A and B are shown apart, each in its own frame.
Chain A
Amino acid sequence: MSDVYFTRAGQLAARKVADEVVILRAHDSSLYVLNPVASALWEAADGQTSLEAVVRDVICHDFDVDPETARRDASELVVALAAEGLLRTSGQPMADADPHGGRPA
């Protein structure tokens, strides 16, 4: 897997409620509730850590999943969240998330 870096898009509000991250987009009030795996990806989306490292250090560490499945599912998830406008992706490390992008406490 080539390195992919990902960060939260701007104009979003987000908070972790129980084990799930809730995201609201300001301009159309769209609501998203991420499952625990997607929530872990969201929390790791700092633009500086590669997806490969997130899968290895967070997903495989915190969830009962084999590395190959985790890589495939995480890649698909990042693509899906980017398509929804919730994440921005790059082949290079990026500056930190938009200061108004919302990060769960």
Chain B
Amino acid sequence: MSALMQLVWDRALEQRVPLSVQFDLTYRCNERCVHCYLDHDDHGELTTAEVKGVLDQLASAGTLFLIFSGGELLLRKDLFEILGYARALGFDVKLKTNAILLGEQEADRIRDLGIRSVQVSIYSHRPDVHDGITKVPGSLQRSLAAIRFLRARGLHVLIANVLMRQNAEDYPHVRTLAAELGVECTLDPTITPKMDGDTSILNLRISEPQLLRVYTDKSLIADFANEPTTDDEMLDARPCSAGHTACYISPYGDVFPCVQFPLPTGNLRGQRFGDVWHQSPQMNEVREIRMRDLPTCSTCSFMTTCTRCPGLAYMEGNMKGPSSADCEKSMVRARGQAAGKDVA
């Protein structure tokens, strides 16, 4: 992050501005990814007018960075009306999509609207593996075609490569594919429980040896490096930006600290966003937490390098507790670093 961008985030933190919001416009989807945590039935999405009303409130609250996601965004017939409205309000807009409904016409409209980036999920370079994960035959080819449409128009595209047992060995090929397409590639080994609490999909998480391979892959070191931090600085630190400068809004108007932190804080069908953001007891509880308030994590030897997610901890039953998935990552990362030093 540039120093200027850091300054903007610091100002937002001082003023408690929700600078970044992820807004899922639908949970409906045309893929059925094996690791997905969502319920794809429509339980009453916000209408076009309601979405616009929320956007008006976010603009007033100071939100600049707006990520539209789902479900699959392109299933909303009013998507481009919403995008146009958001851009007219001055938001910096990014999209997350599987892109299988994204053709040349949609790519033109995305370019003309000044959308800053489009993130597309690609699980493997192998059609049988990718399509096996999405459960949609031909989905890899369609997503890749969409990426080419976007790139041909000069748009910034990112490939999101979620790692699970089925595709854990494919990420070097996905990164090569991304380089050929002229797009960035991010890896994420995080698999979260379903929204209803069902944890059965957690068995898709990559194994410790697979995780160790990722953490010791020299071509990825920059992606996982942490700034060195002293223990005192760390104890006073906020666990993450959730509830401080960022939050998440569901297709039904529910407000959460983060997409990965399903703590209900309010609903925009009955409340103003500003009231939820500033006055929700749950949101205020989240933002009062510092690392020193975490009884287990504050005494852990991995504290300064851990990427603990408070939302995952919450889903495990205690937002001030450890997240076992992040504990595992910390231990594997430390093992990988130790192995690297031994080699050196």
Report which A residues bind B (CB closer than 8 A): 10-18, 20, 22, 24, 26-27, 29, 31, 33, 99-105
Q: Give how many B residues have a beta carbon under 8 Å from the other chain's beta carbons.
A: 31
Choose among A11, A17, A105 the residue that contacts B114 (Cβ–Cβ < 8 A). Answer: A11
Question: What CA separation (Å) do A16 and B115 show in the bound complex?
Answer: 19
What's the least CB distance linking A86 to chain B, in Å?
13
The 9 closest A-B pairs by CB, nearest first: A102-B90, A13-B92, A105-B59, A15-B64, A11-B114, A100-B87, A26-B114, A26-B116, A99-B88
Contact of A18 with B116 in the complex, beta carbons under 8 Å: no
Total of A-B residue pairs, C-beta within 8 Å: 78
Chain A binding surface, main DSSP class? loop
Nearest residue (CB) in B for A10 is: B114
Contact of B88 with A100 in the complex, beta carbons under 8 Å: yes
Choose among A27, A31, A102, A105 the residue that contacts B87 (Cβ–Cβ < 8 A). Answer: A102
Chain B binding surface, main DSSP class? mixed
Choose among B63, B93, B114 the residue that contacts A15 (Cβ–Cβ < 8 A). Answer: B63
Nearest residue (CB) in A for B12 is: A17
Residues of A contacting B114 with CB < 8 Å? Answer: 10-13, 26-27, 100
Nearest residue (CB) in A for B90 is: A102
Choose among A10, A13, A17, A101 the residue that contacts B8 (Cβ–Cβ < 8 A). Answer: A17
What are 11 A-B contacts defined by CB distance under 8 Å? A10-B114, A17-B12, A17-B15, A99-B84, A99-B87, A99-B88, A100-B84, A102-B91, A103-B89, A105-B60, A105-B89
Asked whether A33 and B15 contact (CB < 8 A) given A17-B62, A27-B154, the answer is no
Contact of B2 with A31 in the complex, beta carbons under 8 Å: yes
Question: What CA separation (Å) do A38 and B154 show in the bound complex?
Answer: 30
Given contacts A102-B89, A103-B89, 5 further A-B contacts (CB under 8 A): A15-B64, A17-B62, A26-B114, A29-B116, A99-B84
